Amino acid sequence: MKLYAGWPINRGSAGVRGGLRPVTDIRAPLHSNKFFGAMQSRNRLPLSNHLVCSTSDLTEVHQQVRRILCGHNARSLTNHRPEHLAVLNHAPLSSTSTIYLNYGIETKVQVEELGFFLLEVPLSGSCESVYGQDRANTKPGTMVMVGPNRTFSSHWNDHCSKLLIKINSLAL
């Protein structure tokens, strides 16, 4: 598994465009993890006991994501399909939150400043994340850690689902 750090680091790192560099490289793929494998075998989504919304109404999903994470601009890049289903699950803790999110449709998200640290763990599909001038393409087996103080955007493909870990910057 590769973890890409999203703060100013060695520019021009080999194999990663724009200077994001792998912080750690664990050879076991994320989807082979016993926890996620067990959930998939039971046809349950991560954090399914903490459902916030499951809907084809993108406006509702974006409002709930704003409430849980932060203000952001999100737009669908493909025509709305009535059969698509977005799912948002959220388990808040004292200074962190764990979130499962699947927009179910190709989506572009832009944030001026997060105000917290965010660990993004793709569980399916792929995503291109841009943090300041740095870029990383993520898929299962990779992660992106984003810091609180720079512009951040991500382009989710229609099959992308992620586990998001929100960490209050004051907690570190």
Q: How far apart are CA 118 and CA 167, in angstroms?
A: 6
CB atoms within 10 A of CB 113: 13
Q: Which domain holds residue 110?
A: 2-7+17-28+46-171
Q: What is the CATH number of the domain that holds 163?
A: 2.60.120.10
Predicted confidence at residue 83, as pLDDT, reads 66
Question: Is residue 39 one of the residues assigned to a domain?
Answer: no
Q: Per residue in 145-161, pLDDT tens?
A: 988 888 889 999 989 99
Predicted confidence at residue 81, as pLDDT, reads 62
Question: Is residue 36 one of the residues assigned to a domain?
Answer: no
The overall average pLDDT reported for the chain is 77
Q: Are 140 and 31 in contact (CB under 8 A)?
A: yes
Question: Is residue 41 one of the residues assigned to a domain?
Answer: no
> How many domains does the chain contain in total?
1
Question: Is residue 55 one of the residues assigned to a domain?
Answer: yes
Question: Is residue 69 one of the residues assigned to a domain?
Answer: yes
Residue with tokens 């809907």: 55
Can you give the pTM of this predicted structure? 0.76
Question: Edge-to-edge, what's the strand order for the sheet holding 127-131?
Answer: 73-76, 107-111, 152-156, 127-131, 134-138
Indicate if the pLDDT at residue 168 is higher than 50: yes
Q: Which of residues 171 and 101 earns the better pLDDT score?
A: 101
CB atoms within 10 A of CB 32: 11
Q: Which of these ranges, 13-22, 68-77, 115-124, has the smallest mean pLDDT?
A: 13-22
Question: Is residue 148 one of the residues assigned to a domain?
Answer: yes
Q: Per residue in 94-140, pLDDT tens?
A: 899 999 999 988 999 999 888 899 999 999 999 999 988 889 999 99
Question: Is residue 37 one of the residues assigned to a domain?
Answer: no
Question: Is residue 40 one of the residues assigned to a domain?
Answer: no
Q: How far apart are CA 5 and CA 54, in angstroms?
A: 31
